[in-house]
Amino acid sequence: MAVFVALSRRDDLYRLLPSGPDPAPAMSRLGLLLCAPYAVFILACVGIVSLGAGDDASQLIFLQLPIAGQLVVVQALGLGRAIEFLSWPDAYGLFVTPAFVLLYAAGALCERGLARRRGLVPARSGV
């Protein structure tokens, strides 16, 4: 009889159903906003090289531009000889992927900090 009473009320019915895992958090808009210009810049530089514009020296410059900052850091650390024989796709995979991860993480952290400041997200989410 008690089960029938519990099932007759709508709000109790949803409590009896098993709940799944918490939904995944939404993508960070600010993180994506920070990644987008870098992606457009990479596509523009590789597109210019793919179209065959200019001579070999200018094509090399356009290929180096998106990863120039990372190459400077590698040279400063004395690891220039270690990457000397990398192909361009390998170099882009090695340097661009962490750059996107760092840009996204920085945007997500800033967005979370701003949301906390506005009081939309608790300081600790229970994880």
Check residue 24 and give its pLDDT: 66
Check residue 120 and give its pLDDT: 65
Model confidence over 25-69: pLDDT tens digits?
Answer: 788 999 999 999 999 999 999 999 999 877 888 888 999 999 999
In three-state secondary structure terms, 124 is coil
pTM for the model: 0.70
Cβ-based neighbour number of residue 112 at 10 Å? 17
Check residue 116 and give its pLDDT: 83
Check residue 65 and give its pLDDT: 93
Check residue 108 and give its pLDDT: 93
d(CA 81, CA 4): 76
Portion of the chain with pLDDT greater than 70, in percent: 75
More confident of the two residues 28 and 122? 28
CA distances for 11 relative to 16, 21, 47, angstroms: 9, 20, 57
- List all residues 6 or more positions away from 15 whose beta carbon is below 8 Å from its beta carbon: none
